[in-house]
Structure 1
């Protein structure tokens, strides 16, 4: 009896859907159906039955489920035991620049404190390049924007943050309407070669605003520093960084900005560094919760 087939069966029972279990496990529906049929053939009983739009275990399925869960838990414990020494070596992490200024430093601090024998090589690039590097096994995982297309089932994705467009201005201008600032103040443009810059440009066109552009930069942190120096206002994704906390800038919300910029962790489901990758994914999720709660407390959400 295949342990993986038991995992698939228990996940179907938990989700009540073979299609949902397939998506959750990164398998095709056909592969899930094949595993269940093979398990039923091996045991000589029917394990699941349809009940309306869901599937439920049969009486035999419930009996198997009762015994399978502790067996799978024991297997996971054995795997963790023999892989304790696997938490060492090199992990190659690709990140976008704005993540370097927000989640990444503390995330790495926690990760390296927990796994001191892991050497993390951090490489900064734009999201499309990071996706290519992940697919070519140049990096092991990436903190980047979600691609504009559906991901293949070979890749895992976990959302860390969504960032709507905002206007940032010097605090002396924070009582002015944000659209008025875009029309009247010197404008620091976010690089249109980047997805966030193109989204900002589309917003300006939709509102028939032709700003007085003085600069165009690909660094959100640099833009914030220039706004602090009263060199203009800008229209950027709502990135919040400890590095901007002491600046004299104000974040002014906008209405009807369209879809927010989503960035998260992207990784290959099958990797020779799987244990290291999953540990980093879990650390990233913890940091996302922490930062999200902090923003909500500060009234930024």
Structure 2
């Protein structure tokens, strides 16, 4: 069934069985047969079919996320017999508490397989983390994509892109996002970080006049204030936010730019432990 799930992941990304067949190296009928086997096992359609075109169904979108996790876990099982060979210390930097949940999930799964690796985690400003990376004091740092060019000895890898959304108290009526921003106080995502200035630029581009009452880089503090109905906020959205009590998240179609979150590392040869942990981070960052 892992073979079928791998095929499903490619087909779900391309939404084209002919292109999937070409990429995998099978016939289109073989691809269709694999997808049908999955649909028969699951009891629901993964794709909506119209003539020769296909697109993911609502259930298929959810299944894609779970399939990624299943395939990733299967791949990690190959490492169980070799886990004793991977050991040592990993120095990880985190630029915002908002990335802590991603790091924690990846570390939890990683340590189930590679228990001889020890983590040391530092939370600091982006510039400070970049300085430590350049000096060799960190193995990697999780942060928003730096606006300025990195030093030649550093490289950037994207983990995921977060859309900006409007966070409002549950009690807020079903009003357009623009009306909400002009009516309620704004808790501003501080522009001192690499990504925070995107909010300021968007508000200016939309010619919106808002009433600021506070600014901070800490997403947790912003959401606590919104939950207590102190105001509203524009924040980058990631999956863990959806469970926050007393808060609704409203999409802003006009805010097309996204916050790119990834890792910065030295270009030098990386340890096996670091390479393996990067695989786990990439899986959870999708």
TM bracket, shorter-chain basis: 0.5 to 0.7
Offset, 1:266: 2.0
Offset, 1:284: 0.5
The SS at the match of 1:230 is: coil
2:253 pairs with 1:239: no
Q: Counterpart of 2:272?
A: 275
d(CA) in 2 for partners of 1:85, 1:102:
27
Q: Is the 8 Å Cα contact of residues 169 and 229 (structure 2) preserved in structure 1?
A: yes
Residues 111 and 270 of structure 1, relative CA distance in 2, 3 Å threshold: same
Q: Is the 8 Å Cα contact of residues 83 and 113 (structure 2) preserved in structure 1?
A: no
**Which stretches in structure 2 are left out of the alignment for 5+ residues?**
1-78
2:251 pairs with 1:253: yes
Q: What RMSD in Å do the two structures reach over aligned CA positions?
A: 2.3
**Which stretches in structure 1 are left out of the alignment for 5+ residues?**
1-79, 290-301
Q: Is the 8 Å Cα contact of residues 98 and 220 (structure 2) preserved in structure 1?
A: no
Per the normalisation by structure 2, the TM-score is: 0.66
Q: Counterpart of 1:126?
A: 125
Residues 105 and 90 of structure 1, relative CA distance in 2, 3 Å threshold: same
d(CA) in 1 for partners of 2:264, 2:107:
16
d(CA) in 1 for partners of 2:196, 2:223:
15
Q: How does 1:36-115 map to 2 (within 5 A)?
A: 86-115=85-114
Offset, 1:127: 2.5
Q: Is the 8 Å Cα contact of residues 196 and 237 (structure 1) preserved in structure 2?
A: no
Residues 238 and 100 of structure 1, relative CA distance in 2, 3 Å threshold: closer
Offset, 1:123: 0.6
Q: Deviations over 1:69-103 (max 9, x none)?
A: xxxxxxxxxxx9xx975522211001122444431
Q: How does 1:145-164 map to 2 (within 5 A)?
A: 145-151=144-150, 154-164=153-163
Offset, 1:212: 1.4
The SS at the match of 2:263 is: strand
Per the normalisation by structure 1, the TM-score is: 0.62
Offset, 1:197: 2.4
How many correspondences in the alignment?
206
Q: Pick from 246, 262, 265: which aligns with 1:264?
A: 262
